[in-house]
Amino acid sequence: KTSTYFILDSYQYFYENEEKPKFADDIIKENHSLFENNPMALKALAYIYQVQGRSKKAHKALREIFVLRPNYAQSYSDLANSYRDLGQFEKAANMYARYLYLLREGFVQPDRNFDDIMNRDYQNLINLEGQKFISKRTQRKTSKNLETYSARMVFEWNDSEAEFELQFVNPKGKYFKVEHSLFADSDRIRSQKITGYTMEEYLIDESMLGKWQVNTKYLGNKSSTRTYLKATIYHNYGHPSQKKEIKLFRLGLKNVNQKLFELYNNVKVSN
């Protein structure tokens, strides 16, 4: 009972399998002391809430992480995206702007990969939701060229020590892989830890149509605990018809290929 992973499994079982939301919520409530000073456990809990569509509860967990990790770049990204999920677009924009201000003033460590993600998220919010909280004139002044893709995949993990390999199989059966490990790319891992983020994005355009498959091979972490890997898939990214789905995976068995999901890159992108 002192294991946060046992508590998370119990919560998921009673919420998803037994359909007893109050009982499940009481499990988290009664054991919250195991989570309150544990950002990794809180992030796993937030992931589970997000998959379940419980945006308010996810937001509460992410706010707790923000308090624990105010200097982590991803704390700003997570809260901004959470505000967007709640339909609080102005607060989301303010969170992005707050981070970009800290970056310009040198209060946070720049990282090209993370900064690209933040800028893309911010511009996507302004382009698609800006008319709901700013004037048309301000939106025209703030927005840049509309960036569109057939799909965008954002992967996040709750443990900064986690090492794994992502494999992308294209419609022609050819694949490329990205290994997230100290052995394969120590400089990037070091930069992620300095900046404070555990996420990567991958973009798919219309040049390769058909079915994509995404696999992973877990390489472990510095402890014996499992790692939670969240995949957010944006379909018709940047278009008015943009939609997203969230998938969550528990990585525990090492050095074994695991199929995560399939993604269909359609011929026509609808608006």
Beta-carbon count within 10 A of 179 CB: 14
C-alpha to C-alpha distance for 257 and 271, rounded to whole angstroms: 36
Given a contact cutoff of 8 angstroms between Cβ atoms, the answer to whether 166 and 225 are in contact is no
C-alpha to C-alpha distance for 89 and 83, rounded to whole angstroms: 6
Taking 90 as the threshold, does the pLDDT of residue 107 lie above it? no
Q: Which amino acid is at 167?
A: Q
Determine the pLDDT at residue 269: 44
> Can you tell me the mean pLDDT for 167-189?
93
Taking 60 as the threshold, does the pLDDT of residue 255 lie above it? yes
* pLDDT, tens only, 205-241: 888 889 999 999 999 998 878 899 999 999 999 999 9
Sign of the Cα torsion 216, 217, 222, 227 reads positive
Sign of the Cα torsion 174, 175, 176, 182 reads negative
89-93, 139-143, 199-203, 230-234: least confidently modelled range: 139-143
Q: What is the pTM of this model?
A: 0.93
Determine the pLDDT at residue 271: 41
* pLDDT, tens only, 111-125: 999 999 999 999 999
